[in-house]
């Protein structure tokens, strides 16, 4: 699904994101990897497949990771199969708008 999502970003004319990109703290210690990262805009898009819902522990770990990234100043968008297949246009619009919002925020 990540490959399909990446192709969709390109078809939508969105800038190329970094893939499986490391996100480090100020000391260079990697804290997380992002499925899709627009580093300058501080935007992360994650595709959460079925394994993200397989256990309570995984859900808690995912939430904790998202909270960490948001505390670091990243905006995080989570995409799942419903977002992709049933709300595709809305999902692409949300990513496009988040990129614009983040550009304005980080350049202010």
pLDDT at residue 52, rounded to an integer: 52
pLDDT at residue 57, rounded to an integer: 82
pLDDT at residue 95, rounded to an integer: 97
Residue ranges of the domains in the chain?
Answer: 2-19+40-101
pLDDT at residue 71, rounded to an integer: 94
pLDDT at residue 54, rounded to an integer: 62
**Paired strand residues for 76:** 44
Predicted confidence band at 23 (pLDDT cuts at 50, 70, 90)? very high
For the CA atoms of the chain, what is the radius of gyration? 14
Alpha helix locations (H) across the chain? 2-11, 56-71, 81-86, 88-107
pLDDT at residue 1, rounded to an integer: 87
**Paired strand residues for 45:** 36, 77
pLDDT tens-place string over residues 52-107: 556 778 788 889 999 999 999 999 999 999 999 999 999 999 999 999 999 999 88
Which own/partner pairs from 51-56 qualify as long-range (CB within 8 Å, at least 24 positions apart)? 52/80
């Amino acid at each position: 699904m990540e490959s399909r999502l990446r192709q969709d970003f390109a078809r939508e004319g969105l800038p190329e994101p970094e893939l499986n990109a490391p996100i480090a703290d100020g000391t260079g210690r990697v804290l997380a990897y992002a499925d899709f990262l627009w580093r300058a805009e501080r935007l992360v898009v994650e595709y959460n497949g079925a394994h993200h819902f397989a256990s309570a522990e995984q859900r808690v770990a995912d939430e904790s990771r998202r909270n960490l990234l948001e505390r670091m100043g990243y905006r995080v968008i989570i995409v799942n199969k419903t977002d992709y297949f049933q709300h595709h246009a809305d999902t692409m619009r949300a990513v496009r708008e988040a990129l614009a919002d983040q550009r304005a925020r980080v350049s202010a």
